[in-house]
Amino acid sequence: MFAADRASQRLGISLDRSGDGFAEVSMTVTDDMVNGLGIGHGGLVFALADSAMAFATNGTGTPAVAVQAEIDWVRPAKLGARLTATASNVHGYGRNAITDVVVRDESDETIAIFRGRTRLVKRRSP
């Protein structure tokens, strides 16, 4: 899935580890990722966490799409910080799953806590 994810690649996100219901991705906050206050744009931190959730939930071969997500930003992401988002599927029920993601910087400080829900969907032919 990562090979076809141009959005994650464009943001400089790397897929560091993945397994069944688990994924770890990382990204460096560059100068074109900061907001007017000079800190990492919250939407890009959200995108990092969302990508981690996507890779964790799509590891089984059945496509899953996000249906809901929320994030709590607990600390600003600084320019130059290497952020790592670790996603774990914490509960599955039918075609639905809940995934928790923690985003940390290179000092292991928590930057954001994200929770998302996904739903398995039928694969569509192109």
> Residue 41 carries which DSSP code?
-
> What's the pLDDT score for residue 20?
84
pLDDT confidence band for 121 (50 / 70 / 90) = confident
> Residues 25-34: pLDDT tens digits?
999 999 999 9
| Count of alpha carbons within 13 angstroms of residue 84, beta-carbon side | 12
pTM for the model? 0.91
Q: Which residue has the tokens 């100068």?
A: 31
* Mean pLDDT of the 75-86 span: 97
In this predicted structure, the answer to whether residue 80 has a pLDDT above a threshold of 60 is yes
Supply the Cα-derived Rg of the chain in whole angstroms.
14
More confident residue, 45 or 91: 45
Domains of the chain: 2-120 (3.10.129.10)
For residue 126, the model assigns a pLDDT of 56
